[in-house]
């Protein structure tokens, strides 16, 4: 009997064009990772939280983007703003709590101000410096408060109340609408009809590259992993769902009607489906470089990825419903959400196990592997055109060829025309 493949055969390029596979070093290389933070994450619009998580004046939340600490505040005027969470005096991180309120005073902070605990400089909700301790004694008239405000960041509340931040003042995408390039339109009427509210939040730190989580969100071929999805989907309308690419690397997965009744113990979600959404429909939006909006009829899920290293990602999972929900409706939404997407739900742990397995294989010292993205099925659900679209954009931003990151990126069809070593 013929044997399998030896080392030489295993390391040969696959019988695909160079847009149909990627080199696993893009998931493990330390230098590539650092470059991604600078070239991608410091330039993209990121939905860092939802406005319902800071409902009152003086509420705040903190996050990081590309390791930069950021604080979002809600002013007395109820406007949400974002600032670098860095003191202009000696660079201390001003606020360390994940969330809270500046309304009341604290041992190291005055009411209604952000106070740096180090030397007690204070800032208001608009980021203006309002107090410098022993200002005249130390600085005489050489330093004015106006010269030491916080750095304000581009910030917009958009798409059902998500708070978006961009670190690049000179981004060519002036608004989130421009950045999203039409990819949010399929869900916009459903999310903008009335205010939403976060009812679920948990986070997980997973030993894999952030792009692997993005991949598993945007390709549905892996529904073989999910017994629940096979039982409730896998019919003609499921296989007709289209993957659609938008500018800037974003992707939609088209909708179909899920048959929740086919899964023992589950019921239809039609009665409390989101506004304007056909009953039990299921849309997915995957945004470059690592954000996912997933609306399964009655509950919305949002994944935000914060890359912590080439082989480590923090994923924040949020579940949202309508703010107007009565208690019973909210409880149903929570059950619908948690039974599939909660930490003990039907699907989420399966996805996490799969990407952890990929992470174990693609560790930083691993020999390069070829990761195949070569399925073509008329751009329908099990086609891998969504991933190809994402990695084309990745290559453009990084000026690296995903199939061989030591080579510069080749625009469009040039990838396909590039010489491909025969593997057959
Ligand atoms: S570092 Fe913030 S007041 Fe000195
Ligand atoms: Fe999945």
Atom of ligand 1 nearest to the CA of 133: 3
pLDDT-based confidence at 134, cuts 50/70/90? Answer: very high
Could you report the per-residue pLDDT of 311-366, keeping only the tens digit for each? 999 999 999 999 999 999 999 999 999 999 998 999 999 999 999 999 999 988 89
Whether residues 216 and 355 fall in one domain: yes
Residue 179 resides in a domain: no
Split at pLDDT 50, 70, 90, the class of 2 is confident
Position 40 in a domain? no
Q: Model-level pTM? A: 0.95
Assign 107 a pLDDT band (cuts: 50, 70, 90). Answer: confident
> Which domain range does residue 386 map to?
185-398
Q: Who's near 121: CB < 8 A, 6+ residues apart?
A: 87, 88, 89, 115, 129, 131, 132, 133, 148
Q: Is there a single domain that holds both residue 98 and residue 234?
A: no
Residue 331 lies inside a defined structural domain of this protein:
yes
Q: What is the pLDDT of residues 200-227, one digit of tens each?
A: 999 999 999 999 999 999 999 999 999 9
In a domain, 166, yes or no: no
Residue 339 inside a domain? The answer is: yes
Domains: count for the chain? 2
Q: Answer for the pair 385, 239: CB distance below 8 angstroms, yes or no.
A: no
The answer to whether residues 63 and 198 belong to one domain is no
Query: How far is residue 213's CA from residue 160's CA, in Å, rounded to a whole number?
Result: 24
List the CATH number of the domain containing 253. 3.90.380.10
Same domain? 214 vs 65:
no
Instruction: Indicate whether 151 and 194 sit together in one domain.
Output: no
Q: How many CB atoms lie within 10 A of CB 275?
A: 11
Residue 222 Cα to ligand 2 midpoint, Å, equals 6
Q: Which ligand is nearest to the CA of 135?
A: 1
Question: How much of the chain, in percent, has pLDDT values that exceed 90?
Answer: 93
Classify residue 420: in a domain, yes or no.
Answer: no
Q: How confident is the model at residue 388, as a pLDDT?
A: 97
Residues 6 or more apart in contact with residue 243 via CB below 8 angstroms: 218, 251, 252, 253, 254, 379, 380, 381, 383, 385, 386, 389
CA 7 from chain center: how many Å? 37
Reported as a pLDDT band with limits 50, 70 and 90, residue 424 is: very low
How far apart are alpha carbons 70 and 78 in whole angstroms? 19
pLDDT beyond 60 at 421: no
* Model confidence pLDDT, tens digit, residues 380-401: 999 999 999 999 999 999 999 9
The answer on 360 and 245 residing in a single domain is: yes
**Same domain assignment for residues 193 and 292:** yes
Residue closest via CA to ligand 1's atom 3 equals 119
Task: Kindly state whether residues 203 and 345 are assigned to the same domain.
Answer: yes
Ligand number nearest CA of 150 is: 1
Contact between 209 and 311 (Cβ < 8 Å): yes
Do residue 252 and residue 323 come from a single domain? yes
């Amino acid at each position: 009997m013929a044997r399998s493949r030896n080392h030489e055969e295993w390391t040969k390029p696959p019988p695909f064009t160079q847009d149909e596979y990627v080199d696993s070093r893009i998931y493990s290389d330390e230098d590539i990772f650092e470059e991604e933070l600078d070239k991608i994450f410091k330039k993209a619009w990121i939905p860092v939280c939802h406005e319902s998580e800071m409902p009152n004046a003086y509420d705040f939340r903190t996050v990081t983007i590309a390791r930069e600490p950021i604080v979002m505040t809600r002013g007395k005027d109820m406007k949400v703003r974002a600032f670098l969470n860095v003191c202009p005096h000696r660079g201390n991180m001003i606020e360390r709590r994940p969330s809270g309120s500046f309304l009341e005073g604290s041992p190291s902070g005055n009411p209604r101000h952000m106070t740096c605990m180090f030397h007690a400089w204070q800032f208001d909700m608009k980021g203006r410096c309002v107090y410098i301790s022993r200002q005249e004694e130390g600085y005489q008239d050489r330093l004015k408060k106006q010269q030491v405000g916080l750095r304000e960041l581009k910030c917009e509340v958009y798409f059902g109340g998500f708070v978006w931040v961009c670190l690049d003042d000179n981004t060519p995408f002036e608004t989130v609408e421009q950045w999203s390039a039409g990819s949010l339109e399929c869900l916009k009427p459903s999310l903008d009809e009335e205010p939403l509210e976060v009812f679920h939040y948990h986070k997980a730190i997973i030993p894999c590259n952030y792009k692997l989580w993005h991949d598993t969100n945007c390709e549905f071929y892996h529904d073989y992993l999910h017994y629940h999805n096979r039982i409730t989907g896998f019919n003609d309308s499921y296989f007709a769902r289209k993957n659609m690419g938008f500018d800037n690397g974003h992707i939609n997965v088209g909708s179909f009607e899920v048959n929740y009744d086919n899964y023992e113990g589950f019921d239809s979600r039609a009665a409390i489906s989101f506004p304007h959404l056909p009953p039990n429909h299921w849309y997915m939006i995957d945004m470059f470089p690592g954000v996912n909006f997933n609306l399964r009829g009655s509950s919305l899920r949002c994944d935000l990825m914060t890359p912590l290293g080439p082989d480590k990602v923090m994923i924040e999972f949020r579940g949202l419903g309508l703010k107007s929900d009565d208690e019973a409706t909210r409880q149903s939404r929570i059950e619908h959400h948690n039974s599939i997407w909660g930490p003990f739900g039907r699907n989420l742990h399966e996805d996490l196990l799969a990407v952890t397995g990929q992470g174990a294989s693609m560790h930083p010292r691993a020999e390069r592997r070829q990761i195949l993205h070569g399925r073509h099925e008329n751009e329908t659900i099990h086609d891998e055109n969504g991933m190809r679209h994402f990695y084309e954009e990745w290559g453009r931003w990084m000026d690296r060829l995903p199939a061989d990151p030591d080579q510069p990126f080749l625009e469009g069809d040039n990838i396909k025309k590039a010489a491909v070593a025969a593997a057959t």
